[in-house]
Amino acid sequence: MVNKVILIGNLGADPELRATQSGTSVATLSMATSRKWKNKDGQLQEETEWHRVIVWGQSADFCNNYLSKGSKIYVEGRLQTRKWQDQSGNDKYTTEIIATTVQNLTPKGGESSGGGGYDQPPLPQEPSYGRGGESGTGDDVPF
């Protein structure tokens, strides 16, 4: 089985850097990707998709130090869906990209433009390292 995501897009906001109780850095990125096409009438159409990207450790520090709103970035990672509860106790689900690679594609001194954002669910728990390099075994998959 494969769970791999590769995205190229722009940041809609500056990275949000936090630290876990153990001091591990975690950054949350709001990233937009777009696609363009012509409809059957020849009119140009555009669709923007927003992604929540979670970055851990030194990569999170890199994002905080070198990326900003509008930066064009390359992200490689995996999809993860989590269940959480809002302030009213309602169950919510969020799908996010857990990044393994983040690269800045904006040239030095390049212009940053972009925008948008959304209410974000709470951060995921810190991954547990030391289990053969993976953060999970896949045994908890519900199917």
The pLDDT score that the predictor gives to residue 110 is 53
pLDDT digits (tens, 9 = 90+) for 12-47: 999 999 999 999 999 999 999 999 999 999 999 999
Does residue 120 belong to any structural domain of this protein? no
> Of 46, 53, 7, whose CA–CA distance to 30 is shortest?
53
Q: Which residue has the higher pLDDT, 132 or 140?
A: 140
Q: Given this model, what pLDDT does residue 107 score?
A: 82
The reply to whether 91 falls in a domain is: yes
Residues 80-137: tens digit of each pLDDT: 999 989 999 999 999 999 999 999 998 876 554 443 333 445 556 555 544 444 444 4
Query: What 3-state DSSP class applies to 133?
Result: coil
CATH of residue 66's domain is 2.40.50.140
Range of the domain at 40: 5-104
Say what the pLDDT of residue 142 is: 53
Asked if residues 29 and 60 have their Cβ atoms less than 8 Å apart, the reply is: no
pLDDT score recorded for residue 114 = 40
What letter would DSSP give residue 123? P
The one-letter amino acid at 88: S
Helix (H, G, I), strand (E, B) or coil at 57: helix
Nearest CA-CA partner of 45 in 30, 32, 34: 34
Indicate if the pLDDT at residue 58 is higher than 90.
yes
The pLDDT assigned to 89 comes to 92
Any domain includes 116: no
Task: Report CA-CA distances (Å) from 123 to 23, 26, 44, 55, 82.
Answer: 15, 9, 37, 11, 10
Give CA torsion, residues 37, 40, 44, 46, to 10 deg: -50
| 46 inside domain | yes
Residue 129 lies in a domain: no
112 lies in some domain: no
Written as six digits, the tokens of 114 are 């972009």
Whole-model pTM: value is 0.72
pLDDT at 35: 93
Structurally, the chain folds into a number of domains equal to 1
